[in-house]
Amino acid sequence: MRKPRGRGRAQPQAAATFERFGRPLTLAAQVEQALRQAIAEDRFPDGKLPTGAELAEQMGVSRETVRLAAESLQREGLLVKFRHRGTFTRQPSFRGQIKSVGSKLLGYLQADFRTAHGQEEVANRALSGLLLQGALAEAGAAGFKLELHHAAHTRWGEAARGLCENARLRGVIFASYGEPKLLGHLVGRGLPMVLLDEDMTVPQVHSVRDDCGGGASQAVRFLAQLGHRRIAYAHWLRPDSNRWRLMGYRQGLRDAGLPHRRAWEILTDLTEVGARELTDKFLTLAPRPTALYCFNNTLARFAIEELRRRGVRVPEDVSVVGAGGEEVPGLTYHQVDWYQMGRTAVEILLRTLATPKRHKPEHHLFAHTLRVGQTTAGPGS
């Protein structure tokens, strides 16, 4: 009697699979990471760092390693080194050292964004409000006033030109938007300018922005540590306005050895309508991601509400992480000190006014800190 075909034969074994190894950080990168975290947590009294020798002793590395790490942070604007005085997390204040020329007025132009249907994208309100509050506080403490203007980003050029024609202004802050060519033209007027919360670099224009790319990478790595292998990202419908966050998301996936799919990068408006459309797309993904990283906290709140409305549990079915902005109770998110960023923008203008001929452009990059809430858990928890 014949044996059934195939019985008794050894079945081929499935090919072994291995997780991708991340590249180990160099000692200088580890020191830089530790200093960045300490700066974010304000752990240096009076903003002054220990000497290079002291840091090398504390960390068990060479002085050269500490120097390389510190120089990297200096290039980002997180540290400032003064000869014979040491290294500081911020430059000294120039309040009261500005010669009076009659006017103590600073300009502040906030760009506003609307959807293609004319709906205001309220998700940016909390962030822009904190920036403005910080700027107002620092200006007031120095005896200055802010002349506040709002303009749709599509009318920004017209508003910026009009603002800079005010002869009484001593300096101007452009918040959340800028046009490089126009800014380059306005520099010729001799008016000190600061780009606030905008990731472009323009010669002779100061800048203050957050390290949103680093925050995004940190969020993705955190989700990976919880066990998530499929992580989607809800990105603003204006991807050219914040390329660093998208790059940080992708870098976080690479660091964790996780797969990247373009379908998992979902473009959306920062509105409740946008969150509904985002949820529609997210729920049709196959296989469905177990985690969703959102462009900011307001979008994360909208998305959580919409997911739960459709019977999707957060975090049991989907973990959700926000990328800063308004305070959302219970949300896991990364945040930067937006208020201090606004203050720093004014501080830069004050320093420039105090030493106009010697002052070079400053570029400050603020680090994010991850705050763990109740909207994240391991997949299938």
Rg over CA atoms, the chain:
24
Q: Domain ranges for the chain, please list them.
A: 27-88, 105-211+336-368, 212-335
Q: What Å distances lie between residue 377 and 163, 179, 229, 306, 380, CA to CA? A: 48, 41, 13, 19, 8
Q: State the pLDDT confidence band at 124, using cuts at 50, 70 and 90.
A: low
224-238: pLDDT as tens digits? 999 999 999 999 887
- The CATH-assigned architecture of domain 212-335 is 3-Layer(aba) Sandwich (3.40)
Yes or no: say if 236 and 270 are a contact pair by the CB < 8 Å rule. yes
Buried b (16+ CB within 10 A) or exposed e, 154-181: eebbebbeebbeeeebbbbbbbbbbbee
Q: Which residue has the higher pLDDT, 84 or 14?
A: 84
What fold characterizes domain 27-88?
A: Arc Repressor Mutant, subunit A (1.10.10)
Place of tokens 């307001």: 298
291-316: pLDDT as tens digits? 999 999 999 999 999 999 999 999 99
The CATH code of the domain at 105-211+336-368 is 3.40.50.2300
pLDDT at 123 over 60: no
Domains 105-211+336-368 and 212-335 share a fold: yes
